[in-house]
Amino acid sequence: MPELIYLFPGQGSQYVGMGRDLAAEFPLAAQTFAEADAALGFPLSRLCFAGPEEELRLTANTQPAILAHSVAVARVLESRGLKPVRVAGHSLGEYSALVAAGGLEFADALRAVRRRGELMQTAVPVGEGSMAAILGMSVEAVTALCADAAAGQAVCEPANFNGGGQIVIAGHAAAVARAAALATERGGRAVPLPVSAPFHCRLMMPAQKGLEPVLHSLTFRRLRCPLLSNVDAEPLDDPETARQALIRQVTSPVQWEKTMRHLLAHGEAVICELGPGRVLCGLVRRMDRSRKCFSLDGAESVRAALPELGAA
């Protein structure tokens, strides 16, 4: 049986219909969505399976929806005897990774990310913040254009170091727009992101302060396998370190390229993305085209991958 590395997607990977065929084919997945409904006190599963899209896109709904879908896939794999040797999650996905590694109870994680979404949404008034992906520029060049765009008066910072020549920036909307224009002038390309708030920058400090007591109220356990944290891109299995990493990640950039460099160097382990979409598999291929990545989203993809992954 090959060694497995699990990756868990973050916000932006959601879509109406997510998890529906998975729950229809695998009773354990259906049970996972039912647990999510009970933990949150509203039919999250119906929102995932049928929408409406405008409600699913609300940050406070999107975050538990992606978590539930990701954990449902992880549970199906575990029921077939599959266990990861390393886990990592992009932003919100770090909660999914913690649940999969046994560091956090599923119900606790659901309620925490629901509150996280509410806090992130209200940290910055709608329209005052934004994010953009900068393509084809170095870390140093993006850092410089952010500083030039901020001009010491606004916030404009790298938010996600995604690898493969992609760095996401976040901050005040006007400053991000100036940075996007500068990127074009300096030989790069900017793509505005359809997000509702400027995540992973200093403007999220109110959300970080609000989330801290929530996370301190939860029980964290030692992880069954190491997790690569967003903030440090270093493996951890200690409960308190995991808690502090979740607190710090709200205002810190996601060090995804460093995380993936570490994981790609981990022998010949098979990489799997668990949950909606295939964004993370795309980033894997941008960094190493020779490395295969299984995107485990719906029932068909999970069913097809089980034999190749060595499932019982």
Residues with a known catalytic role: 91, 200
Dist. CA 147–CA 144, nearest whole Å: 5
What token pair was written down for 105? 């109870």
Dist. CA 57–CA 77, nearest whole Å: 27
Are the CB atoms for 112 and 128 separated by under 8 Å? no
Residue ranges of the alpha helices (H) in the chain?
Answer: 20-25, 27-40, 44-50, 53-56, 59-79, 93-100, 106-123, 139-150, 173-185, 205-216, 239-248, 256-264, 279-287, 299-308
Residue (of 83, 40, 86) closest to 263 by Cα position: 86
Q: Can you give the length of the chain in residues?
A: 312
- Helix 256-264 to helix 279-287 angle, to the nearest 10 degrees? 70
Q: What is the DSSP letter of 188?
A: -
